[in-house]
Amino acid sequence: MEVGSGRKCEVSARDMLFMILTSMKHCGSWDMVSVVFKEKSPTFLAAIHPTLRAKYIDTVLDKYSMQHLHTSGHRFNNFPSALYAVDVTFQRTNTPAGSFNEKKRFYSKKHGQYGLKVEASVLPNDLTINVATAVSGSVADITICESNLDFHQDKLKKIGKTTTCWTTAQCKKSILGRGLCLLTKATKAFTANCDHSDEATS
């Protein structure tokens, strides 16, 4: 397994299995788990993250299509045509060191704390299909959503007789505007941008 710049990962496949099992069983914080393997937490996280993401996030949508969710009875009650919900989560951190200008980038006025924000896309059966890169706490939730627009546009494509996310008629106008993240708690104010009348006329 390559880890970048042509370098091979120092962790063997067998060791990676034990690292994953230990993390899933006992993970409270990365610092605690990395000590078990006598690694610094950034090194441990860099080694295990690609495997965890590939196993538990990137391949989820291949199995849980719109048709699969429909037949298994996993649909959103209020938005049955939606494939997934989008929300921005906040992870509190310690107060950053440095000048005031450096600190304020990580301060979230909404939460009144310093931290990081991550956008997550979640299926109705509670499985995550996408996690965006973490950004500083001062970035607006809608800005994070718009920066991940390529992912959402790709998931709107029709596959056979099914549509992902909203139906094409519903998303026709909202995809280019802020109405895309209608299921995001933080973007309820933008739901008016979506014209539901398209569904009746299409």
Q: Which residues does 11 contact at the CB level (< 8 Å), separation at least 6?
A: 19, 47
Q: For residues 155 and 180, is the Cβ–Cβ distance under 8 A? A: no
One-letter amino acid at 44 equals F
141-168 residue pLDDT tens: 888 888 888 888 887 766 555 544 444 4
Query: Vertex 35, ends 95 and 93: CA angle to 5°?
Result: 15
Confidence of residue 6 (pLDDT cuts 50, 70, 90): low
The string of pLDDT tens digits covering residues 84-102 is 888 888 888 888 787 888 8
Task: Please tell me the number of Cα atoms within 13 Å of 61 on its side-chain side.
Answer: 22
**Whole-number pLDDT of residue 9:** 60
